[in-house]
Amino acid sequence: MTDVATPKAARRYDLDWLRIFAVLLLVPFHSALIFSPYPWDVVYIKDTVYSPVLVELARFIHLWHMPLLFWIAGASTWYALEFRTNRRFLGERSLRLVVPMLFSFAVLIPVMVYIGRVGRADVGPDAAGAFWAFYRGFFTVDLDHLDGLTGAFTPAHVWFVLFLYIFSAVTLPLLRILKGERGQRWAIRFADLFADRWRLFLFGFVLALADALPNLGGKNPFFYITLFLAGYLMVSDLRFERVIARRTTTALIGGVVLVLLSAALRAFVNEAHPYGLGSIAFHLVYTLGRWCWLVAILGLGYRFLNQPSRLLRYASEAAYPFYLLHFIVNTTVAFVVLPWDVAIAVKYVVIVGLTIPLTILVYELLVRRFVVMRFLMGMKQRARVRRRAVEG
């Protein structure tokens, strides 16, 4: 979630913009899941009525949303290692990832889960109990229910930060090798294989293989670490930049076709036989569609967003705290809005329309101007931010 740090002449502003848009999209995504009937669509408060339209909206965002964030995280890591030793890199990652993660586990997530339990029809305020009694029980780890819906511990949306820190630490020796002379030869061979008009799309099969490996609490670390490494390698070779830009339209068309085809194949998925022909066909087509959408969005960003602005500087700094704060604000707003006797569409628009400005307001009033809160939210101190802006 850190800024994409590149030299001034080569700074990829499009990746900064895409990261900001991806973080903002978490609000309509999580708000849509409030109206989903499926237990695997995890939010901490849900309406008693459902919307198939919003479920499909959430599915579409899910296609490329987290893959985009992990790809950009890998790309930013490549640039960060240009100017940092391993020790400095891990030190910065610890401050900017581990500290906010622990603060979220201790403060933000327990409050969010409790508000959700009080507002849930199947729990209610009486069954939810007093907050401090709930808080003590929250830190009980139930490996069968890491979603937190039972009131036990959950990383909630901060699972991304946890994965990113682990990926950064575990892959650092490999990432450093890829910066060296021998590693650069491997990176060139990788580009020789995939940085081509059509072979670019073959990387989707690599992702499909990674996604077939076991997941962890519904999240597949093999799939996401493959995307992280792909971002690291692809940003290091200008051939990928060019081929992605040239194949944007092809990727967009392919993404639409493959997503529609995967929707048709979903009926043939048998959860009891995940390696049956129908399940394999669905997951292969679905993952190829995800890769096409990711390529298309990266291409569109490169074409239209690769330019600086004053808003970009503000939003880049605010994106990470917004990510950490938005879910508790979203849950609180939903707690207030869901009892209203209005249409689902009205509730959804109000929840989204209030969550975004209220999260920004919380950031402005409680985070941005305070040294301690900036530290807890993984932000650079203001003097360092101003110096960085002056230096370009």
Torsion of the alpha carbons at 272, 278, 280 and 285, rounded to the nearest 10: -130
Domain ranges of the chain: 8-306
Angstrom distance (rounded) from CA 25 to CA 44: 18
pLDDT in tens, the chain (392 residues): 444 433 344 678 999 999 999 999 999 999 999 999 998 899 999 999 999 999 999 999 999 999 999 999 999 999 999 889 999 999 999 999 999 999 999 999 999 999 998 887 666 666 667 889 889 889 998 887 888 888 889 999 999 999 999 999 999 999 999 988 888 899 999 999 999 889 999 999 999 999 999 887 779 999 999 999 999 999 999 999 999 999 999 999 999 999 999 999 988 787 666 677 888 899 999 999 999 999 999 999 999 999 999 999 999 999 999 999 999 999 999 999 999 999 999 999 999 999 999 999 999 999 999 999 999 999 998 755 454 544 44
Nearby residues of 219 by Cβ (< 8 Å), 6 or more positions away = 159, 163
Angstrom distance (rounded) from CA 115 to CA 152: 14
Q: How confident is the model at residue 99, as a pLDDT?
A: 97
Q: How confident is the model at residue 145, as a pLDDT?
A: 81
State phi, psi for 235 to the nearest 5 degrees.
Answer: -75, -15
Tokens 């990829």 locate to 12
CB atoms within 10 A of CB 7: 10
Token duo for residue 181: 């002379």
Token duo for residue 329: 């604000």
Angstrom distance (rounded) from CA 157 to CA 136: 21
State phi, psi for 276 to the nearest 5 degrees.
Answer: -75, 165
Q: Each residue of 43-60: pLDDT tens digit?
A: 999 999 999 999 999 999
- Which among 371, 379, 369 is positioned nearest to 318, based on CA atoms? 379
Token duo for residue 260: 């529609």
